[in-house]
């Protein structure tokens, strides 16, 4: 199949491209390299079934060109600002990179009569509902970050475009994803800072912010298993067993890096930054019943990620 | 208070401006006159507390200018494409006029440190859930029109901006609004077409599409009663008792226009057009408990609207 991965040079996108090529698909990787990275796809460029197209998914004409030449049958939309902390001080980033990309991709699919889409959404659409076990039918979605807002707005667009144009869309809401080719986030930050100074580590909040972390290969497994969705929108929470606190992440990194007696300096307070959701409970029964389960739990995902990034 | 009404020359906006002036507020009416109409505000321009500013709310610099000079303390955001049927063939209209206006208004409020907002949302955010009584906590919002999608995306933005910037926002989700200064919709269309040819009337669908219609003065009452909301987002479904079928609307118009033996030609099918929600049940207990109730039920709202528009 002819598959375009928009945001294909990014963290999740590059891991997905690799797996799609292994399955024998013809893959176009479309990326603006704002967060994507040529290093992530250098190996893939040797594959004759892979092509790289530099372009901005928030611009209809640039999408239109690749849709015209490559003629994709399936669109993976992974283009977004994925650094929530960064956009907290500049909501324009989410407007352009997260919402407008979705609008223009859907508009281009509508124009070219393309019916199949995967969309990467997020647990951030729910907002801060720490006392509720979040399932796909939890009411009152109230994002507290501009990122979550732009993703929920994107889901709303997908709902209308799929109805109006008979599209088949798979939407995954997933929490933090980690693994090979990580570009930012707490693990990335801690590892970089400990390489510079292994005597101490500054930790935002009280270190007890606890979230589920999913290993990227587990996520890609789920994307590939369910990519052929029925007409309409099929929505899954995708996650793992367990959750890992920030302090536990620091502990695992120190263990894997062979560091002892690192002093943790907590900044205090409960959240890492405004717009961060410090704790949540994620119900993933729906996708389990449908036949997928993550191989790695949250702590294991953190450990394997640290190892892969130390090897790289 | 210094109040800016964005979309103030439109159908609801012009009725709101009039009432705000009667209450003694200083009112800036900001409108791009795409759907708004100078006729709607001609009387108001005689009032020294009223000023008209022509501008496009999807452009930050144009908003910034009026926020700098007028210094509003309260923002009513009524700017949107309100003609759902028209945007069904051109989703860009909703992207620019419904979603981007909200994003830029919120960005401008953030920049100018303005905390108070009213936002006009819609029953279209729910999508086609005809077997469910829709209340504010109905889960699985799935708009089927680009209009509903852009409004739900706007609500998501409001959720994040209000959290990040400590805003106090009142959001009303309302169904069809009718009354003085109507610019489009089924009543407007039927009256115009019957004036041209009183022997027959073409009706989309089977005429049994049944919706609640709220009289604009009732809606404005509710907006003014609850405009001072607490910090965060306060959301209400706003509606009326009963609902009116399209055939009943035609009957009321014929009665009020004194027409007899008009032949109704039904196009057939259940919905008026794709993206239209043919039937829904609206739970308005929350706002009733809070102390507001529409004076006119749906049939009465239709009749008074026909009379007001015949007088005009």
Q: Is B150 on the interface with A (CB under 8 A)?
A: yes
The secondary structure of residue B132, as a DSSP letter, is S
* Closest chain B residue by Cα to residue A107: B91
The domain ranges of chain A are: 2-177+214-237, 181-211+242-280+296-311
Please name the residue that has the structure tokens 């599409």. Answer: B209
Which residues of chain B make contact with A165, given a CB cutoff of 8 A?
A: none
**pLDDT value for B157:** 98
Residues of A in contact with B140 (CB under 8 A): 136-137, 139
* Partner residue opposite A143 with nearest CB, options B125, B141, B160: B160
How many residues are present in chain A?
312
Q: What share of chain A is helix, strand, coil (3-state, %, to 5)?
A: 40, 20, 35
| Contact yes or no for A205/A268 (Cβ under 8 A) | yes
Does residue B54 sit in helix, strand or coil?
strand
Q: What is the pLDDT of residues A47-77, one digit of tens each?
A: 999 999 999 999 999 999 999 999 999 999 9
pLDDT recorded at residue A269: 79
Cα separations (Å) of A153 from A149, A280, B146? 6, 21, 11
Q: Where are the beta strands (DSSP E) in chain A?
A: 2-6, 26-31, 50-54, 74-77, 116-122, 133-134, 168-174, 176-178, 200-203, 210-211, 213-215, 232-237, 244-245, 263-266, 281-282
Between A272 and B80, name the one with better pLDDT.
Answer: B80
Average pLDDT over residues B267-286: 82
**Quick one: DSSP state of residue B279?**
B
CA B142 to chain centre: 20
Q: What percent of chain A has pLDDT over 90?
A: 86
Q: Return the number of other C-beta atoms located less than 10 Å from residue A85's C-beta.
A: 18
Cβ separation of B274 and A164 shorter than 8 Å? yes
Average pLDDT over residues A248-255: 97
With a cut of 90, say whether residue A249 has pLDDT above it. yes
**B266 pLDDT band (50/70/90 cuts)?**
very high
Closest CA to A81 of A7, A16, A189: A7
Tell me, yes or no, if A60 comes closer than 8 A to chain B by beta carbon: no
* Predicted local confidence at residue B272, as pLDDT: 66
Mutate to test the interface with A, among B163, B165, B166 (most CBs of A within 10 A): B163
Q: Do B159 and A144 touch (CB under 8 A)?
A: yes
Nearest CA-CA distance, residue B109 and chain A, Å: 13
Does residue B273 carry a pLDDT above 80?
A: no
Centre a 10 Å sphere on the Cβ of residue A267 and count the other Cβ atoms it contains.
12
DSSP lists the bridge partners of residue B169 as: B117, B233
Please judge whether A157 and B149 are an interchain contact, meaning their C-beta atoms are less than 8 angstroms apart: yes
pLDDT at A279 over 80: no
Q: What is the pLDDT of residues A110-135, one digit of tens each?
A: 999 999 999 999 999 999 998 899 99
- What does pTM read for this prediction? 0.95
Of A138, A153, A159, the CB nearest to B127: A159
Using an 8 Å CB-CB cutoff, list chain A residues near B136.
140
Instruction: Collect all residues of chain A within an 8 Å Cβ-Cβ radius of residue B127.
Output: 159, 163
Spatial separation of the C-alpha atoms in residues A61 and A66, rounded to whole Å: 9
CB contact under 8 A, A143 and B150: no
Q: What is the CA radius of gyration of chain A?
A: 19
Asked if B84 reaches chain A (Cβ–Cβ under 8 Å), the answer is no
Give pLDDT, residue A280: 79
CATH number for the domain running over B2-177+214-237: 3.40.50.720
Closest CA to A125 of A89, A159, A75: A159
Please compute the mean of the pLDDT values over residues A86-100 and round it to a whole number.
Answer: 95
State the Cα–Cα distance between residues B166 and B89, nearest whole angstrom: 38
CATH (one of 3.90.25.10, 3.40.50.620, 1.10.630.10, 3.30.2140.20) for B182-211+242-280+296-311: 3.90.25.10
Query: How much is the pLDDT for B28?
Result: 98
pLDDT of A271: 63
- Kindly state the tokens that stand for A242: 């367990």
Please state, in angstroms and as integers, the Cα–Cα distance from residue B221 to each residue in A47, B176, B295, B303, following that order.
65, 16, 10, 19
**Contact criterion met (CB < 8 Å) for A137 and B137:** no
- Residues of B within 8 A of A136 (CB-CB) are 140
How many CB atoms neighbour CB B202 within 10 A?
A: 13
Please determine, for residue B180, whether its predicted confidence score (pLDDT) is greater than 90: no
**Cβ(A112)–Cβ(A69) below 8 Å:** no
pLDDT higher than 80, residue A272: no
Q: Per-residue pLDDT for B51 more than 90?
A: yes
Q: Provide the shortest C-alpha distance from residue A71 to chain B (in Å).
A: 23
The radius of gyration computed from the CA coordinates of chain B, to the nearest angstrom, equals: 19
Comparison of pLDDT for A21 and A82, the residue scoring more? A21
In chain A, which among 269-298 make CB contacts under 8 A with chain B? 274-275
DSSP SS3 for B219: helix
Tokens of B17: 């401006």
Strands (E), B213-287: 213-215, 232-237, 244-245, 263-266, 281-282
In sequence order, the 6+-apart residues with CB closer than 8 A to the CB of A296 are A214, A215, A218, A240, A304
In this model, does residue B30 exceed pLDDT 70?
yes
3-state helix, strand, coil in chain B (%, to 5): 40, 20, 35
Q: What is the pLDDT of residues B116-136, one digit of tens each?
A: 999 999 999 999 998 899 999
Q: What average pLDDT is seen over chain A?
A: 95
Distance to chain A for B146, nearest Cα, Å? 6
Tell which phi-psi region holds residue A166, choosing left (phi > 0), alpha (psi between -120 and 50) or beta.
left
For range A255-278, the mean pLDDT: 86
All residues of chain A having their beta carbon less than 8 Å from the beta carbon of residue B148 are 156, 160
End-to-end CA distance of chain A: 31
For residue A262, give the DSSP letter.
Answer: P
Facing B149 at nearest CB: one of A125, A144, A156: A156
Give the distance from residue B205's alpha carbon to the nearest chain A alpha carbon, in angstroms. 18
Crossing angle for the helix pair B186-196 and B298-311, to the nearest 10 degrees: 50
Q: Which residue of A has its CA nearest to B233?
A: A142
Domain A181-211+242-280+296-311 is in which class? alpha beta
Contact A149 B142 (CB under 8 A): no
Which pLDDT tens digit goes with each residue over A150-174? 999 999 999 999 999 999 999 999 9
B125, closest residue in chain A (CA to CA): A156
Interface touch B156/A148, C-beta < 8 Å: yes
If 0-12 CB within 10 Å is exposed, 13-18 middle and 19+ buried, where does residue A122 land? buried
**Could you tell me the pLDDT band of residue B181, with boundaries at 50, 70 and 90?**
confident
Q: Which among B205, B179, B215, B178 is positioned nearest to B278, based on CA atoms?
A: B205
For chain B, give the mean pLDDT. 95
């Amino acid at each position: 199949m002819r598959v375009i991965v928009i945001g294909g040079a990014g963290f999740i996108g590059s891991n997905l491209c690799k797996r799609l090529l292994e399955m024998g698909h013809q893959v176009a990787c479309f990326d603006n390299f704002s967060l994507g990275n040529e290093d992530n796809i250098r190996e893939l460029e040797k594959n004759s079934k892979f092509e790289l197209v530099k372009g901005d998914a928030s611009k209809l004409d640039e999408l239109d060109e690749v849709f015209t030449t490559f003629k994709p049958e399936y669109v993976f939309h992974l283009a977004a600002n994925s650094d929530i902390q960064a956009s907290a001080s500049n909501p324009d980033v989410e407007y352009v990179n997260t919402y407008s990309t979705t609008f223009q991709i859907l508009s281009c699919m509508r124009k070219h009569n393309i019916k199949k889409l995967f969309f990467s959404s997020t647990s951030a659409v729910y907002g801060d509902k720490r006392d509720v076990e979040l399932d796909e039918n939890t009411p009152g979605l109230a994002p507290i970050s501009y990122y979550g807002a732009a993703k929920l707005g994107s889901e709303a667009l997908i709902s209308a475009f799929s109805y109006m144009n008979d599209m088949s869309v798979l939407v995954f809401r997933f929490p933090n994803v980690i693994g090979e080719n990580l570009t930012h986030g707490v693990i990335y930050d801690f590892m970089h800072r400990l390489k510079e100074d292994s005597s101490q580590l500054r930790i935002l909040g009280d270190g007890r912010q606890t979230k589920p972390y999913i290993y990227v290969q587990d996520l890609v497994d789920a994307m590939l298993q369910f990519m052929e969705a029925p007409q309409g929108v099929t929505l899954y929470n995708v996650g793992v067993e367990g959750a890992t606190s920030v302090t536990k992440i620091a502990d695992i990194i120190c263990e894997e890096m062979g560091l002892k007696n690192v002093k943790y300096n907590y900044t205090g307070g409960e959240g890492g930054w405004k717009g961060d959701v410090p704790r949540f409970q994620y119900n993933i029964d729906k996708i389990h019943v449908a036949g997928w389960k993550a191989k790695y739990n949250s702590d294991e995902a953190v450990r394997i990620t640290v190892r892969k990034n130390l090897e790289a």
